[in-house]
Amino acid sequence: MNALRTAVVTITHRRDDHLHRQRLGLATDPPELHVIVGMDDTPELRAVAGAVPVRSVSVSGGEGGLPLARARNAGAAAAIDAGADLLIFLDVDCVPGPQLVSRYTAAGVPAPALLCGPVAYLPPPPQGGYPLDGLDALAPPHPARPAPAPGDVVAEDRFELFWSLSFATTAETWAHLGGFHEAYSGYGAEDTDFALTSRAAGATLHWVGGAEAYHQHHPPTRLDPDRAPEIVRNATTFHRRHGYWPMRDWLLDLAAMGLVRFDPAHDLLRLLG
């Protein structure tokens, strides 16, 4: 039993196959609890040998897109209510590495702190699916973020590098930070907002070597024209709160697709069409 009572929090919407592979991975290095938050969805949970106990939570969205921020907050509340000391947020598309839970648990960084593990983006699955015991051979860690050696914990000053794909924090820190800002709905900017407000609240950020996760392939959400309204809305919310435009590459891509007009020099962003 870990010294800390750990809970993995996963939010999901119509990703049952990805969720199943994640649960297979968690059986290798299990937390005490897996909180699964279905957003306008009731996930199908297939049998997994050595499966982690599940607490299910449902969150309804609206016309503004999936309630990602609200779902993470609901998952954290359920985990803390169940007695979790360490919250590990893992994107539904991520398969945990064989020591993800153990490495986060052993990081030993004083609160308040955010811990991030390296994430590798997998290519499309080979015939027969991804091999759970060989994912490290299929893709290197993301080149734009640190990937310390196993056992190393490296402090990070660039809070804009925080991501919500895989991160951990104590229940104590979560209560201090207050969670994700629920004015964000749909894709984009809520995780950077969380990182910046966490820094303002005195949190530190660290990369945890050996806490690898492997992101299962899917088409880029940011290039889906149906997501443009929520990305624009969230970028505008972020700009109002922090004074600059987030996701500039996303917004430039949307502008190149003719979906938005984006002129950062004149603080202009608006949806076209």
DSSP 116: E
pLDDT tens string for the chain (273 positions)? 446 799 999 999 999 999 999 999 999 999 999 999 999 999 999 999 888 999 999 999 877 789 999 999 999 999 999 999 999 999 999 999 999 999 999 999 999 999 999 999 999 998 888 888 889 999 988 888 999 999 999 999 999 999 899 999 999 999 999 999 999 999 999 999 999 999 999 999 999 999 999 999 988 777 788 889 999 999 999 999 999 999 999 999 999 999 999 999 889 999 997
Residue range 6-218 forms a domain whose CATH class is alpha beta
Q: What is the location of CATH 3.90.550.10 in the chain?
A: 6-218
List of residues 6+ apart from 88 with CB closer than 8 A: 6, 7, 8, 9, 31, 100, 101, 104, 166, 167, 168
Q: What pLDDT is stored for residue 64 in this prediction?
A: 77
Q: Count Cβ atoms within 10 A of the Cβ of residue 113 and give its class: 0-12 exposed, 13-18 middle, 19 or more buried.
A: buried
Token pair of 23 as six digits:
């649960």
**In sequence order, what are the beta bridge partners of 34?**
8, 54
Looking at residue 3, its pLDDT comes to 63
213-215/119-121 β-pairing:
parallel
pLDDT at 115: 98
